[in-house]
Chains A and B, each alone.
Chain A
């Protein structure tokens, strides 16, 4: 087992290396980071030229990639523009733990990700819990009473939920529960952000502000996942061993929870397992609308400014998470299924 894990980790290194080259190549198509620095007033041509030189953006793409990878602190660079390198490079490269600095904020990328990751995890984590609980409950209940009024109702609502665009759902929830409820004098929820400035950053405030974004993220996923649970449960319930258990007089609750559910849940768990690495990436639309300071918005904001060190940082983080969770999933499989041998 240890050998297997070590081998997989060793394989992951060239894998991540190739991913980084592909991502860096794609970054070249994102536009000119220097062109967007002037915001409302376009930067002057001589300033653009000077900035490109100072930030190393005038170098060929492969040199920029190597600097990103291994740094440039062992060579001199030309800061004053006389064509002669005179200043020591300051970058160490990602291989030595320097994830580079943002071209826009000038802050270390790792620090910027560190600011946002907790916010994203708390939002996405909460949404994932809600999704799991409601999908299982609705899917299970529907499967036990297929084609009943409840099942038909849930099926109908699922289709509506699944076909709703996220931005529309988010704005509707905001208008109903935050704007109109307040106007009607009912208890209301806040529109945007993580807390009210007057109330301060308390857990209660956080929960109040999480309700609408979590609902937005959950409703659409629950609609899809509950259908998934329902169909896989229906399939299992028609299996011979379930009939046998029932024939032996085992109580229904026991049949469902002890025999049917664990089997029906296996593919669902795989599905959820695939979601986990992407929890890190955040939810671009929901975070944007509810002004939730997460990873999705970090990515979006810095995409619009072609800030490739930040984009590379986020994408590499997600890539690493995907690779690691693949290994974990494989190991878990081998532990539970005797047919799989990790040799």
Chain B
């Protein structure tokens, strides 16, 4: 009897747990809210728009926040092409396309002042938020105010804090951005892909003193774009529904973003046809994904290229690194062509020459990658006085062994490259001390003990980009940006300081004429190439899969889903 009671009680506890589990999960099994009455624009009754079909996209990471102010996640940023358009977007050639702005400001159309410090942006007068409220210059002025407010814990204020004096609404459709000094990358950094709805967020700011916890950050049911936010179920999916109020109404009924964190699972979902667009694929997946015939893998550059950043700071670098012949020898002694062939896919990831090879038109087509020439490398090292005098297999000079600290983060591919390079260097008598850091430590600033910023290396390897599609990255190579105890925020971790380079970098940062700027970048690339201050390893485009179920997809590196309004499903 007692035993039965025990059994019954235990099973009762178990059953109650299971029942509560089922009860708790009820919301997940409710029928779908297709009516969307809470989120659908409330203003005009569209005359039965012919929206049809769903585009399913897999994201391998979940956006943390949808409000521009609180996220720098790429996966959040790219959703804004659907629901939070800014002044302009970028097409598949990364050329600016006006969205809320009526035209792209230029000196010719009077949008840019001669001194380059005043940008006057004409807005379209027919753009409305999804709830029908017009989008005006006031929304942009309010957005600036929110970025700069001390009451909001925003992720970054750049470039507003450094370059923008004021953002004002002259009238509803005229926005004036006053700069402190000419700032060449304005087109890709100032309201290009976001704006906040003043009529929604100002009341929150007034009531709570901050918009940090605004409901809109998680559920921006009022937006401006071809789609409008409908629902976000944490960890599962985000749904955007067609927005008939947008100036270019979409063809699809909805975009369904599914969060699939596991790469292998995403691959299975792509092959099975459970997703139309897959992201962040690796080159070794291409063959498998395309085998079925209904999936295309496309490489789209978002400006990234993998490269070596040599440390040439006399205070921290190995003495050999200060000699350009040694730096050149490092490049010549490394068979980057074979590395790319064996570890990546040559067609997708060719060896790059300059930092800007993925950011046309700022690349310098006249330059060729340093060849693989170990004999020439040996000759240069001999010439520089680095010879193996003690017969230990490693070159030395004045009692200092030529052993270089070669660092990168802990990504597996990079570790493999390190191992291959170490072996290749040994053939010419260069020793390599390989070090790997977790990403957060690798990128740390000087005061947080970052190995790069403190110069605890000779060669650092990583993939980087400017303000793509803008090439700006001068803080990496300006003399006054060299990081040190006195200048812990300096972004020039390599200790590069060349007068001519410095002048060119400063000039381009204030040059608004694109052709002139391209020419300046060609000169900059030439100096970096001659001085061997950047050694390209491979171009690092993003790989996307597109199922032929979804058509008219033209991905852009700068704003991937810029033409989402043209997408449609195959009949």
Contact = CB atoms under 8 A, between A and B. Distances in A.
Interface of A: 31-32, 35-48, 51, 54-55, 79-81, 87, 101, 104-107, 112, 115-119, 121-122, 124-125, 128-129, 132, 171, 174-175, 178-179, 182-183, 188, 190-198, 200-203, 206, 262-263, 265-266, 269, 272-273, 276, 279, 288-294, 297-298, 300-301, 305-306, 328, 332, 335-338
B237 interface: yes
B292 interface: yes
Contacts of B323: none
9 contacts: A43-B155, A54-B153, A107-B218, A122-B22, A122-B28, A183-B292, A200-B34, A289-B265, A301-B62
Interface in B248-285: 254, 256, 258-262, 264-266, 268-269, 271-274
A104 B266 CA distance: 24
For the complex of A and B, the 10 pairs showing the least CB-CB separation, nearest first, are: A293-B235, A336-B6, A200-B32, A121-B21, A125-B21, A122-B25, A42-B443, A35-B440, A197-B256, A293-B236
Nearest to B234: A115
B264 A337 contact: no
Given A41-B72, A200-B31, A31 B265 contact: no
B3 A262 contact: yes
Interface string B210-238: 00110001100000000000000111110
B493 to A, nearest CB: 11
Q: Could you say which of B17, B266, B444 has the most chain A C-beta atoms within 10 Å of its C-beta?
A: B17
B570 interface: no
A271 B266 CA distance: 35
B156 A119 contact: no
Interface string B1-42: 011111101110110011011101111111110100000000
Contact of B272 (A45, A191, A337): A191
Q: Could you say which of B13, B265, B271, B447 has the most chain A C-beta atoms within 10 Å of its C-beta?
A: B265
B260 A32 contact: no
A118 B488 contact: no
Given A32-B448, A201-B28, A203-B29, A45 B17 contact: no
A332 B22 contact: no
Given A192-B274, A272-B14, A106 B212 contact: yes
Contacts of A279: 17, 21
Given A174-B265, A193-B236, A335 B440 contact: no
Contact of B234 (A32, A55, A116, A306): A116
B96 to A, nearest CB: 21
Contacts of B439: 35-36
Contacts of A107: 213, 218
Contacts of A338: 2
B2 A336 contact: yes
Given A38-B72, A263-B3, A279-B17, A119 B261 contact: no
A278 B34 CA distance: 35
B70 interface: yes
B151 interface: yes
B116 interface: no
B272 A117 contact: no
Q: Could you say which of A35, A87, A106, A178 has the most chain B C-beta atoms within 10 Å of its C-beta?
A: A106
A171 B157 contact: no
B243 interface: no
B234 to A, nearest CB: 4
Contacts of A290: 265
A51 B155 contact: yes
Nearest to A196: B274
Contact of A105 (B65, B440, B491): B65
Contacts of B153: 51, 54-55, 106
A54 B18 CA distance: 42
A117 B28 CA distance: 11
B308 to A, nearest CB: 18
B158 A337 contact: no
A192 B257 CA distance: 12
A31 B274 contact: no
A106 B217 CA distance: 9
B18 A297 contact: no
Contacts of A87: 150-151
B450 to A, nearest CB: 9
B65 A293 contact: no
B471 to A, nearest CB: 15
A301 to B, nearest CB: 7
Nearest to A294: B235
B484 to A, nearest CB: 13
A300 to B, nearest CB: 8
Contact of B259 (A40, A48, A182, A293): A293
Interface string B301-341: 00000000000000000000000000000000000000000
A301 B64 CA distance: 10
Contact of A197 (B54, B64, B262): B54
A192 B2 CA distance: 46
B109 interface: no
B446 A105 contact: no
A121 B20 contact: yes
B77 to A, nearest CB: 9
A284 B325 CA distance: 51
A115 to B, nearest CB: 4
Contacts of A332: 6, 9-10, 13
B365 to A, nearest CB: 27
Nearest to B210: A90
A300 B61 CA distance: 12
A308 to B, nearest CB: 14
A332 B27 CA distance: 32
Given A118-B27, A201-B28, A298-B234, 17 more contacts: A46-B489, A47-B158, A104-B65, A118-B25, A128-B18, A174-B268, A190-B272, A191-B272, A196-B274, A197-B239, A201-B29, A201-B31, A272-B10, A288-B262, A291-B236, A293-B234, A293-B259
Q: Could you say which of B3, B20, B30, B292 has the most chain A C-beta atoms within 10 Å of its C-beta?
A: B3
B446 A45 contact: yes
Contacts of A117: 24
Given A125-B17, A179-B271, A279-B21, A202 B29 contact: yes
Q: Could you say which of B2, B11, B235 has the most chain A C-beta atoms within 10 Å of its C-beta?
A: B235
A106 B235 contact: no
Given A35-B443, A116-B234, A336-B2, A276 B292 contact: no
B278 to A, nearest CB: 11
